[in-house]
């Protein structure tokens, strides 16, 4: 029934304001003359009441003090009322000033005006506040009202509390604030007490609280601790989007939502050297291959902040590339963004791109990355991940690109699948290419001019970056789990012990830009991926965040490891170690050096096999180039057995009679 209460007509508010103002003036006369009616000039009082009524009507109409909804009275309404009272009383003061100048009696005592001003403001504000809290009290009498705690007793927390109080469609009652700032403990906001965050268990004991709303910027480990506790005790966790996404700077209750798993996997914000990146990128032409993908598009967005002269968007996916270009146009970046559709494997098409735009920097993100798909299509994996990288790397040297930054993967480390091995081969190629002209000044790249040691040329710096899974990328496990939960389950996990590293796309791309700016060529930069996450625990937490119970409302099933899939990922192989950099999140891998002649020969043979779509010979050659590549849960595991047998036979030839 409360929700059906109509808003009071404006004329009633106008009339009430006028009545209270006239009462205030009368009361001021009584106070001025110590409540002695005989001392009051009733003729003067009557005259001034009429004058004050006319002045107040004009001021109220001009300032529109009656237009606000009383039950939602705010500080802005208070300022409007204060201004109207000052304006009304100032007209009397101005009149008194002229009366004094003319040597005549005052129209009204200045003491009366001061008392009237104070009383008027007090009365107009008081009756509004009383009405406001009356409505809140009536609302709180509703049955089944959910008790809610707000975590964060700052401005955002206060704004959320008032939003919840005023929204008639919500059934929430804020019973407490929690805050990490101990100086706020014991104080109150809008009548609601603030508790230290350590009191969470006390406040929620016995099912006293149904929801907790996170409004403060909480450290990642603290946020996970709070969420884990709440999920274990059946408390719903809500949160808000960043303040920048609020509608006109105000919180909309529709923006209050269940906390996402991505927010729990996020870590502390990464600080990068914006000045050094800006110094390198400003005014330069930057090529991003795979620009329509999740990583490539985010690299483009972040590069755009550093005022490049041009960003060349290369991809073969027409629709997402078009959407990215429209997005940049909406950000008034259409003039610097040039879309170029083309396949990185097509050397002639890529040559046309380099010849036309002559990029200064290249970020090579184009790649096939889905492990099971590439396990069934090895030749195609080589064509994109190896040939595509080789084409772009060779052209980068030919057109004197300053830096070539390759986006690699943790799956390239001790690879157990075709995709990871293909990326490792691409790493080997760009490293050996850089080492070749670093050492001798000669470029041995197929299709490039051969330079002798006396030739001077600009050396392209080849830099590789490795990181693990990124949240929200195409093919990420999290969107798949969300879809399975929405369908009512089951959630499929490949293995109960499988773990993965996770990083947000913006975080990964910031580190890519930072590594690219600090690299001098030949390095493989690896990122601090934090702690690995057990996928089954991730699935359980996502189910609980949806308000459901794992293996009761949503089943979890194990489907078995997919072809080529590892139980856990690595960032270094057994023959690598790391060196620190000036950025604590970025390390340099100390890797083996390869002879470019051998690498070039082997890769050309591999390319020839891939062009003939000979999958088994392709994988065999990959294992020859990357000896640590041992297939897992794959048909190509037979090649490892054959290779081991051959190694045993060779060993026996040199150690006759030895039992192996």
Report the catalytic residues: 411
Helix (H) or strand (E) holding 362: strand 361-364
Q: What is the mean pLDDT of residues 641-647?
A: 61
Fold of 274-470+503-531+570-596: Rossmann fold (3.40.50)
- The pLDDT score that the predictor gives to residue 346 is 94
The pLDDT value given to residue 570: 66
pLDDT tens for residues 276-304?
A: 788 888 999 999 999 998 899 999 999 99
How does DSSP assign 67-108, residue by residue? GS-GGG--HHHHHHHHHHHHHHHHHHHHHHHHHHHTT---SS
**pLDDT tens digits, one per residue of 389-408:** 999 999 999 999 999 999 99
- In this predicted structure, what is the pLDDT of residue 71? 59
**Predicted pLDDT of residue 435:** 80
% residues pLDDT > 70 (the chain): 80
φ, ψ dihedrals at 567, nearest 5°: -75, -35
Q: How confident is the model at residue 5 (pLDDT cuts 50, 70, 90)?
A: very low
Mean pLDDT to the nearest integer, 549-554: 87
Two structure tokens written together for 86 = 């000052």
pLDDT by residue (tens digit) across 315-357? Answer: 999 999 999 999 998 888 878 899 999 999 999 999 999 999 9
Q: Is the dihedral of CA 444, 461, 389, 346 positive or negative?
A: negative
Cβ–Cβ under 8 Å, residues 622 and 422: yes
> What is the predicted pLDDT for the residue at 254?
66
Which run of H or E residues covers position 310?
strand 310-315
Q: Compute the CA torsion angle 109, 115, 118, 123 (nearest 10 deg).
A: -110
**Comparison of pLDDT for 462 and 243, the residue scoring more:** 462
From CA 628, how far away is CA 623, in angstroms rounded?
Answer: 7
What is the DSSP pairing of strand 491-493 with strand 403-407? unpaired
Q: What is the mean pLDDT of residues 12-35?
A: 78
Whether 150 contacts 174, CB under 8 Å = yes
Instruction: Quote the CA–CA distance of 247 and 268 in Å, as a whole number.
Output: 26
Residues sharing a CB contact under 8 Å with residue 565, sequence separation 6 or more, in sequence order: 371, 372, 416, 417, 494, 498, 632, 633
Span 212-218, mean pLDDT?
A: 79
DSSP character string of 192-213? EEEEEGGGHHHHHGGG--SEEE
Residue 233 reports pLDDT greater than 80: yes
Q: Are 576 and 590 in contact (CB under 8 A)?
A: yes
Domain 144-259 has CATH 3.30.300.30: no
Q: Where are the domains of the chain?
A: 2-138, 144-259, 274-470+503-531+570-596
Q: Which residues make beta-bridge pairs with 315?
A: 341
What pLDDT score does 87 carry? 79
- The residues pairing with 178 across neighbouring beta strands, listed in sequence order, are 151, 195
Among candidate residues 501, 500, 502, 480, the one with its CA nearest the CA of residue 492: 480
Tokens of 644: 């081991």
**Helices within 181-313 (DSSP H only):** 200-204, 220-232, 261-265, 274-281, 294-303
Region 58-87: what's the mean pLDDT? 70
pLDDT digits (tens, 9 = 90+) for 411-469: 888 899 999 999 999 999 998 888 876 665 544 444 444 444 444 446 788 989 888 77
If you count them, how many residues does the chain have?
660
Ramachandran area for residue 261 (φ above 0: left; ψ -120 to 50: alpha; else beta): alpha
**Nearest C-alpha neighbor of 536 from the set 503, 491, 485, 473:** 491
Tokens of 227: 């969420």
More confident residue, 608 or 89: 608
For residue 368, pLDDT over 50 is answered with: yes
Mean pLDDT to the nearest integer, 93-122: 71
Taking the alpha carbons at both ends of the chain, their separation in whole angstroms is 87
State the pTM of this model: 0.69
Nearest Cα neighbor of 192 from 221, 164, 230 is 164
Q: Binning pLDDT at 50, 70 and 90, where does residue 66 land? A: low
Report pLDDT for 396: 93
Phi-psi region of 446 (alpha: psi -120 to 50; beta: other; left: phi over 0): beta
The answer to whether the CB of 386 falls within 8 A of the CB of 619 is no
Q: Which run of H or of E encompasses 464?
A: strand 461-466
Can you read off the two tokens belonging to residue 504?
A: 């947000």
Detail the DSSP E strand segments found in 92-209. 146-151, 172-179, 188-189, 192-196
pLDDT at 365: 93
What pLDDT is attached to residue 7?
A: 59
Cα 463 to Cα 620: distance, rounded to the nearest angstrom:
28
Categorise residue 521: left if φ over 0, alpha if ψ from -120 to 50, beta otherwise: left
């Amino acid at each position: 029934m409360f929700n059906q209460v109509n808003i009071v007509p404006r004329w009633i508010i106008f009339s009430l304001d006028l009545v209270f103002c006239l009462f205030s003036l009368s009361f001021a006369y009584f106070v001025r003359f110590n409540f002695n009616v005989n001392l009051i000039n009733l003729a003067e009082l009557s005259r001034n009441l009429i004058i004050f009524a006319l002045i107040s009507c004009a001021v109220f109409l001009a300032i529109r003090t009656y237009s606000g909804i009383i039950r939602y009275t705010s500080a802005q309404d208070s300022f409007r009322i204060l201004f109207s009272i000052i304006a009304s009383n100032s007209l009397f003061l101005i009149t008194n000033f002229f009366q004094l100048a003319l040597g005549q009696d005052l129209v009204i005592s200045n003491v009366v005006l001061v008392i009237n001003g104070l009383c008027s403001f007090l009365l107009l504000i008081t009756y509004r506040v009383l009405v406001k809290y009356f409505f809140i009290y009536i609302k709180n009498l509703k049955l089944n009202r959910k008790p809610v705690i707000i975590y964060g007793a700052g401005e955002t927390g206060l704004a959320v509390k008032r939003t919840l109080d005023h929204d008639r469609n919500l059934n929430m009652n804020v019973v407490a604030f929690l805050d990490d700032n101990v100086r706020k403990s014991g104080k109150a906001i809008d009548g609601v007490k603030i508790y230290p965050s350590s009191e969470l268990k006390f406040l929620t004991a016995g099912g006293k609280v149904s929801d907790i709303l996170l409004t403060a910027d909480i450290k990642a480990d603290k946020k996970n601790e709070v969420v884990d506790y709440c999920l274990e005790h059946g408390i719903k966790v809500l949160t808000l989007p960043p303040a920048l996404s609020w509608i006109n700077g105000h919180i909309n209750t529709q923006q209050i939502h269940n906390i996402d798993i991505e927010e729990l996997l996020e870590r502390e914000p990464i600080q990068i050297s914006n000045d050094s990146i800006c110094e390198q990128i400003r005014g330069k032409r930057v090529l991003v291959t795979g620009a329509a993908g999740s990583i490539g598009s985010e690299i483009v967005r972040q590069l755009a902040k550093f005022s490049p002269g041009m960003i060349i968007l290369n991809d073969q996916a027409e629709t997402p590339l078009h959407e990215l270009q429209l997005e940049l146009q909406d950000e008034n970046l259409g003039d610097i963004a040039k879309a170029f559709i083309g396949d990185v494997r097509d050397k002639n098409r890529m040559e046309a791109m380099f010849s036309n735009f002559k990029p200064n920097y290249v970020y090579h993100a184009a790649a096939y990355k889905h492990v099971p798909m590439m396990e069934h299509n090895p030749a195609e994996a080589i064509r994109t991940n190896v040939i595509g990288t080789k084409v772009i790397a060779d052209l980068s040297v030919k057109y004197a690109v300053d830096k070539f930054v390759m986006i690699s993967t943790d799956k390239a480390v001790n690879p157990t699948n075709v995709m990871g091995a293909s990326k490792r081969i691409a790493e080997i190629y760009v490293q050996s290419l850089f080492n070749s002209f670093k050492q001798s000044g000669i470029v041995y790249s197929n299709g490039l001019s051969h330079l002798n040691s006396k030739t001077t040329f600009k050396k392209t710096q080849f830099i590789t970056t490795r990181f693990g899974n990124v949240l929200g990328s195409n093919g990420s496990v999290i969107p798949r789990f969300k879809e399975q939960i929405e369908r009512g389950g089951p959630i499929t996990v490949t293995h109960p012990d499988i773990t993965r590293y996770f990083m947000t796309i913006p975080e990964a791309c910031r580190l890519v830009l930072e590594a690219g700016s600090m690299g001098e060529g030949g390095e493989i930069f690896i990122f601090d991926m934090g702690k690995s996450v057990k996928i089954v625990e991730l699935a359980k937490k996502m189910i609980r965040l949806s308000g459901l119970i794992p293996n009761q409302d949503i089943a979890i099933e194990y489907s078995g490891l997919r072809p080529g899939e590892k139980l856990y990922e690595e960032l270094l192989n057994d023959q690598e170690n790391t060196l620190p950099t000036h950025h604590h999140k970025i390390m340099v891998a100390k890797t083996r050096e390869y002879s470019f002649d051998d690498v070039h020969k082997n890769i050309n043979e591999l390319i020839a096999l891939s062009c003939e779509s000979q999958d088994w010979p392709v994988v065999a050659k990959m294992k020859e180039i990357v000896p640590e590549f041992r297939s897992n849960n794959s048909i190509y595991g037979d090649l490892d057995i054959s290779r081991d047998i051959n190694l045993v036979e060779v060993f026996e030839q040199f150690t006759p009679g030895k039992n192996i």
